[in-house]
Structure 1
Amino acid sequence: MKQIVDFIPLLLFFVAYKLEPRTFALADLSFTVGGIFSATAVLVASSLILYTALFAYQRRLEKGQWLTLGACLLFGGLTLALHSETILKWKAPVLNWVFALVFAGSHFIGEKPLIQRMMGHAVQLQSAQWAQLNVAWILFFLVCGFTNLFVAFVYPSIWVDFKVFGSLGLTLLFMAGQAVYLVRHMQPEPEES
């Protein structure tokens, strides 16, 4: 459910991007709605609102949520300030690669791989299986990063569609594969006598 909540700003970005660009005047200011730059403003604003609300409700954000918010503010802010959509196109690949590095680093820092720290309270696996699952997450984030980069710069006309639906589809497909893996390797609970 948390992963779906994190997609809300991305879906709002998509809707704003798909709107036919129109300019509205309000007092001495004019605003354009529709297109990449207004969509980026919606992404930044909705991310700030969502993560502020989550922080107020939960009294904390997960590290990945802080990282996502920071990347959104950095890349979105630079995109708007420099009026360059190329900067925004680098957000998803860089963020995915940072996640891959964090998961990879957890093999060397700490006693357990990151995925075990995240899911160990709910699932019992052998150390080797946790390591395999962590490597799967590393590979997933690497593939997502390179795929986003490839689509953004080779097929820019479908980049926003892929960013929303392709990324979501890849994530859901990976999660389904992870579920199959976990079910195969979970140890049955001992029967009570």
Structure 2
Amino acid sequence: MRFLIDFFPIALFVLAYKMADIYTATAVLMAATIVQTGLIYARDRKLQTLHKVTLLLVLVFGALTLFLQDERFIKWKPTVLYASMAIALAAALWIWKKNFLQILLGSQLNLPAPVWARLTIAWIAYFLFMAGINAYVAAYYSTEDWVNFKLWGYVFPVVFIVGQGLYIARFIKDDDDAVEKKP
């Protein structure tokens, strides 16, 4: 269900682009992101920082795209988002000595500190990769190609998240094992 909530603004964006143009698609993306944010809030009764930042960037870059009739703004929004996330995680980890992933997910996952550090570094690298690849496609390919990349580019987060799951699986202790080991 969560995947559908996360995916539907992009799917509607691509559909609107194919049926109309980049400006219609941008307006649809803005509306769909507002609905998506509302659904997440209705379900969780809170919004994480990533949801707030994404909504803000979609609305700001979308408004600039529509107002200035310049598609470059919406095409560069993902690069700004991914780069911002990489910078925030890196600054927290290496400057403020805080691990935001552990702070956000530590109540759900009990992992050793070095594993949290490696996960954070992997997320920083992933965000930089995604920022770079979006920037490359936005700069050197047509709008049609960029829109198609937005749809098919979903393979990157899926592969990354599956890889993260496989990596942390060996560090997660099974509750049944913990119960059996007690005297």
TM-score (norm 2): 0.88
Greater RCO (Cα-Cα under 8 Å, separation 6 or more) = 2
Partner Cα distance (1:71, 1:89) in 2:
12
Provide the C-alpha distance between the structure 2 equivalents of 1:54 and 1:169, rounded to a whole number of angstroms: 22
Structure that is richer in helix per residue: 2
Aligned to 2:130: 144
TM-score scaled by length of structure 1: 0.84
Match of 2:6 in 1: 6
Q: Aligned partners of 2:97, 2:182: CA distance in 1, in Å? A: 32
**2:21 alignment partner in structure 1:** 35
- Relative to its length, the structure with more strand (as a share) is 1
> 1: distance between equivalents of 2:81 and 2:31?
19
**1:11-33 CA deviation, whole Å, 9 max, x = no partner?**
110100011xxxxxxxxxxxxxx
Q: 1:122 to 1:79 in 2, by over 3 A?
A: same
Whole-Å Cα distance in 2 between the matches of residues 173 and 52 of structure 1? 27
Measured after TM superposition, the shift of residue 50 of structure 1 is: 2.3
State the Cα distance separating 1:111 from its structure 2 match.
Answer: 6.2
1:109 to partner: Cα distance: 6.5
Q: 1:49 aligns to what?
A: 35
- The one-letter amino acid of 1:11's match is A
The Cα shift of 1:41 comes to: 0.6
Aligned to 2:53: 67
Correspondence for 1:94: 80
1:55 deviates by 2.7
Query: 1:27 is matched with which residue?
Result: none
* 68-77 or 147-156: bigger deviation: 147-156
SS in 2 for 1:141: helix
User: Structure 1 pair 178/58, CA: closer, same or farther in 2 (3 Å)?
Assistant: closer
Q: How far has the Cα of 1:151 moved from its partner?
A: 1.0
Partner of 1:113: 99
Partner of 1:161: 148
CA distance in 2 between partners of 1:110 and 1:14 (Å): 39
Measured in 1, the distance between the counterparts of 2:16 and 2:126 equals 28
Deviation at 1:185, TM superposition (A): 2.8
Seq. identity, %:
35
Q: CA deviation at 1:123?
A: 2.0
| Alpha-carbon shift at residue 67 of structure 1 (Å) | 0.4
In the alignment, the residues of structure 2 paired with residue 108 and residue 48 of structure 1 have an alpha-carbon distance, to the nearest angstrom, of 33
Structure 1: 5+ residue stretches without partners: 20-33
Which structure 2 segments of 5+ residues have no match?
A: none
Which digits, 9 at most, give the CA deviation of each residue in 1:138-193, with x for residues without a partner? 00000001001111111224110111221x11000000110110013334552344
Paired residue for 1:84?
A: 70
1:15 is matched with: 15
Given that 1:100 and 1:138 are in contact with CA atoms closer than 8 Å, whether structure 2 keeps it comes out as yes
CA shift for structure 1 position 108: 4.4
SS in 1 for 2:170: helix
Across the two proteins, how many residue pairs are aligned to each other? 178
**1:89-117: CA deviations, max 9, x gaps?**
11000000111112112214666411112
* Letter paired with 2:147: V
